[in-house]
Amino acid sequence: MRPIAVIVKPVVLWATLYYLLTFAWVVGINTTLSIFLGPLYGFGPKQIGFFYFTPVIAAILGEIAGHWLHDSIATFSARRNNGRLEPEARLLATWIATPFMIAGLILLGFALEEGYHYMLTALGWGLYGFGIMIVTVAVNSYVLDSYPEASGEVAAWINFGRTAGGFIISYFMVEWAEKQGAKRQFGTMTGIVGFAFLMVLILGRVGKGLRWAGPVHFKSP
């Protein structure tokens, strides 16, 4: 019952839903982009394989930037709060990450439909991947700071949000693009990411009050 006791906490449920709505497109793009690259750019297996270095580079850059960003935000927030770091301060990183994700999705949609140069397609994919790396650390840090005594359970729920969203979107990603076109498809994704950002803004504002449910009081082994 420990996972159930954790997910009924409002901040954990809210954070999991936010992460599902933002990370789902990572898996959807990764699993279906190769289908578009061949007809659009005449890429063969080798070229497509090299193209998939894009998210690897984006992830590395996101890790490097995030290392300094998250520490800086924590230090700044603690100073402003008399040395105390509230978990909601972790969510400030999403303010920086969200513009990268939105710009990346919009650019990727236009590039795939209008046939932009493949470097612009890679740039859009990379911008989104860079942003999601920063969001990943922010969300995980937030829920872990909120319920440190349930680190395994909160991490499991965040991972559930990530995998569930990606699993679902992969089933209709290609059909969706064929019916509506990449611009409308990725525009809808952008709208969902923007809506999710509003969710996290509300969470950052009222999250401390939502933690009225208190700690989970798990017994240590």
Supply the pLDDT for residue 103. Answer: 96
Supply the pLDDT for residue 181. Answer: 86
Supply the pLDDT for residue 197. Answer: 94
Query: Can you tell me whether residue 117 is helix, strand or coil?
Result: coil
Given a cut of 70, whether residue 220 has pLDDT beyond it is no
The mean pLDDT value for 129-156 works out to 90
CB atoms within 10 A of CB 141: 18
Question: What global pTM score does this model have?
Answer: 0.89
Question: Using 50, 70 and 90 to split pLDDT, how confident is the model at 180?
Answer: confident
Given a cut of 70, whether residue 216 has pLDDT beyond it is no
H helices, E strands: number in the chain: 9, 0
Alpha carbon distance 93, 131 (integer Å): 10
180-214 burial, b at 16+ Cβ within 10 Å, e below that, comes to eebbebbbebbeebeebbeebeebbeebeebbeee
Residues counted in the chain:
221
Burial class (CB in 10 A: 0-12, 13-18, 19+), 134: buried
Which domains, ranges and CATH numbers included, belong to the chain?
Answer: 9-213 (1.20.1250.20)
Question: Using 50, 70 and 90 to split pLDDT, how confident is the model at 27?
Answer: confident
Average pLDDT, the chain: 88
